Amino acid sequence: MEIEVVTTTDKNIGKIKVTDASQISDIKKSISKVKSVLCPDRQSIRLEPRGKTLKDTDKVKDLGLKNGSKLYVKDLGPQIGWSTVFMAEYAGPLFVYLIFYARPSLIYGAAANQKMSQVAEVAAYCWSFHYAKRVLETLFVHRFSHNTMPIMNLFKNCSYYWGFTAFVSYFVSHPLYTPPCTIQFYIGLGTFIFCELGNLSIHVALRNLRPPGTKIRRIPVPTINPFTLLFNFVSCPNYTYEVGSWIGFTIMTSSFSAGLFTFAGFYQMAIWALGKHRNYKKEFSDYPKSRKSIIPFLL
């Protein structure tokens, strides 16, 4: 059978041949042959111009498509690999933070030669550890469900992470920075280390849920690792632990800039967690009803 393919603004792209067994992924490949600029990762296929994006695994038969039916394709624009974006947004903070940690006189003037406090030293180690961990997770742990994302996300994400890194590091590394008391410092440091270990544990558990080369989705459950017990209470414990890490960093440094970064991060991760929580409940009929999205018992 033949299906007509048009843009979401109703501009004709062409006709392609399909069978009842054809999947959306096959249709994307056929469209890219008709219009080479529309590579499969750049396409969003829909039944209606403003409709929901169809999954790559959806079949022609299940969608009720017949000879002469129409499909709409939206051009998602130039794409870039997820891992490339992650590497750029996480590697950048490693170098940006160290620029201010080095206390160049160009930025801090004559006071740049003053001795740095232990808290500022440890803060630099913690910040570097976190983003080094994220780079290594990108290389060896994460399995991405999508190959690419819009290239503009690279600039948006890097601006966020690199900009906040400069904002936090400037003040924590400043010669006039006043560290908190010893007890507060150790409470914050302990919280940071604990949550970093928890975050890594969750990422490894999520990786093991998805076999290599597949897009299989399963309900996340605790493993033998005690850090994963948080799955009993929230859908996205990786976000819970990450927010916890930055709360610990904020307590440890007693820095307003770090607190602002923590709040901004929590706001964004809460949005992501709520969306993933809704998707879990929609996809799995037996999904645990007692779970929240990111904060146990509350949110």
The highest-confidence range among 28-42, 143-157, 168-182, by mean pLDDT, is 168-182
pLDDT for residue 293 is more than 80: yes
Among candidate residues 76, 92, 124, the one where a domain is terminated: 76
Rounded to 5 degrees, φ, ψ at 90 are -95, -30
According to the model, what pLDDT value does residue 213 have? 65
Task: Kindly state whether residues 196 and 220 are assigned to the same domain.
Answer: yes
Q: What is the 3-state secondary structure (H, E, C) of 147-175?
A: CEEECHHHHHHHHHHHHHHHHHHHHHCCC
Task: Kindly state whether residues 239 and 95 are assigned to the same domain.
Answer: yes
Decide which of 45 and 263 is more confident. 263
Closest C-alpha among 148, 140, 143 to residue 56: 148
Instruction: For residue 214, name the pLDDT band (cuts at 50, 70, 90).
Output: low
- Structure confidence by residue, pLDDT tens digits, 78-118: 888 888 888 899 999 999 999 999 998 888 988 888 889 99
According to the model, what pLDDT value does residue 182 have? 96
Tracing tokens 């994006």 back to the chain, one arrives at 53
Tracing tokens 């067994």 back to the chain, one arrives at 21
Task: Kindly state whether residues 173 and 191 are assigned to the same domain.
Answer: yes
pLDDT for residue 176 is more than 70: yes
Q: Under 8 Å CB-to-CB from 182, ≥6 apart: which residues?
A: none
Instruction: For residue 246, name the pLDDT band (cuts at 50, 70, 90).
Output: very high
Q: Which domain holds residue 63?
A: 2-76
Among candidate residues 76, 93, 111, the one where a domain is terminated: 76
According to the model, what pLDDT value does residue 270 have? 97
Is residue 290 assigned to a domain? no
Concatenated DSSP letters for 189-203?
A: HHHHHHHHHHHHHHH
The strand pairing partners of 18, in sequence order, are none
CB–CB of 225/205 below 8 Å? yes
Task: Kindly state whether residues 163 and 61 are assigned to the same domain.
Answer: no
164: number of CA atoms within 13 Å, CB side? 20
pLDDT for residue 147 is more than 80: no
Task: Kindly state whether residues 72 and 104 are assigned to the same domain.
Answer: no
Count of domains in the chain?
2
According to the model, what pLDDT value does residue 86 have? 87
Task: Kindly state whether residues 157 and 189 are assigned to the same domain.
Answer: yes
- The strand ranges marked E within 10-166 are 12-17, 43-46, 70-75, 79-81, 148-150
Task: Kindly state whether residues 110 and 65 are assigned to the same domain.
Answer: no
- Structure confidence by residue, pLDDT tens digits, 43-79: 889 989 888 888 888 888 888 888 888 899 998 888 8
Instruction: For residue 215, name the pLDDT band (cuts at 50, 70, 90).
Output: low
pLDDT for residue 279 is more than 70: yes
3-state helix, strand, coil in the chain (%, to 5): 55, 10, 30
pLDDT for residue 211 is more than 80: no
Is residue 209 assigned to a domain? yes
Task: Kindly state whether residues 66 and 199 are assigned to the same domain.
Answer: no
If 0-12 CB within 10 Å is exposed, 13-18 middle and 19+ buried, where does residue 72 land?
buried
DSSP category for residue 226? G
Is residue 299 assigned to a domain? no
Task: Kindly state whether residues 87 and 52 are assigned to the same domain.
Answer: no
Task: Kindly state whether residues 142 and 223 are assigned to the same domain.
Answer: yes
Q: CA triplet 198, 235, 216: central angle to 5 degrees? A: 100
According to the model, what pLDDT value does residue 65 have? 87
pLDDT for residue 210 is more than 80: no
Mean pLDDT of the region 6-34: 88
CA distances from 212 to 161, 207, 216, 217, 230 (A): 29, 9, 9, 12, 25
